[in-house]
Amino acid sequence: MTDGRPKVVIIGPPGAGKTKVGKRVARRLEVGFVDTDHRIVAKHGPIADIFAQHGESRFREWERTEVAEALRSSGVVSLGGGAVLDPRTQADLEALPVALITVSADAVEARISGSKRPLLAAGGVAAWRTLVEQRMPLYESLATRRFDSSSTPMDTVAARVVAWLLEETR
């Protein structure tokens, strides 16, 4: 694809492995990689601090700005777990290939324990389950294809995403 659109946008719940898979997909496709959460942190500081000092609504404003900019790139874009809550982002994703990375609660527990994820800090896996139950219908409605990372190595998940993308462009 040379039209300036992302080759793939990666979405999914916290702890699913979106960044790890995205980096591997970008490397295999030899394209750039953008993680919108990383861009926010680079400009505004740790996400937990943003939530504590400015609140979730300010974070979502900054997130939307970074998402809009990232979606103008031609590589692989990984969105934060809640980025899809914005109706403008939902509209932007309609015409793009979107890979949903999922993970089971059992598998995510080790990934998120001790993390500083503000929406999960107080409730751990129980909070994660609630968040995922709320968001999963939206994730699924936006996804072109779904990949599970619960018991599959991230390299394998990335290879499956690449195979799907190459199949789609034939």
Residue 64 belongs to a domain with what CATH number?
A: 3.40.50.300
Helix (H) or strand (E) holding 157: helix 154-168
Q: What's the domain count of the chain?
A: 1
Judged against a pLDDT cut of 70, whether residue 21 lies above it is answered with yes
Runs of H (alpha helix) within 30-153: 36-44, 47-54, 56-70, 87-93, 105-112, 124-142
Mean pLDDT, rounded, of the chain: 89
pTM over 0.85: yes
Q: Is residue 1 part of a domain?
A: no
Judged against a pLDDT cut of 90, whether residue 116 lies above it is answered with no
Q: Which of 6, 9, 10, 12 is nearest to 138 (CA)?
A: 12
d(CA 100, CA 39): 21
How confident is the model over 139-159, as pLDDT tens digits? 999 999 999 999 999 999 999
Predicted pLDDT at 105: 83
Domain residue limits at 102:
8-168
Predicted pLDDT at 15: 87
Q: Is residue 2 part of a domain?
A: no
How confident is the model over 56-71, as pLDDT tens digits? 999 999 999 999 999 9
Judged against a pLDDT cut of 60, whether residue 114 lies above it is answered with no
Q: Is residue 25 part of a domain?
A: yes
Q: Is residue 153 part of a domain?
A: yes
Q: Is residue 136 part of a domain?
A: yes
* Number of DSSP helices (H) and strands (E) in the chain, helices first: 8, 5
Q: Is residue 82 part of a domain?
A: yes
The SS3 of residue 46 is coil
Q: Is residue 3 part of a domain?
A: no
Per DSSP, 84 falls in state G
Per DSSP, 80 falls in state -
Predicted pLDDT at 54: 94
Q: Is residue 115 part of a domain?
A: yes
Predicted pLDDT at 125: 78
d(CA 68, CA 70): 6
Predicted pLDDT at 82: 93
**14 contact partners, CB below 8 Å, separation of at least 6:** 81, 108, 112, 117, 119, 120, 128, 131
Predicted pLDDT at 48: 84
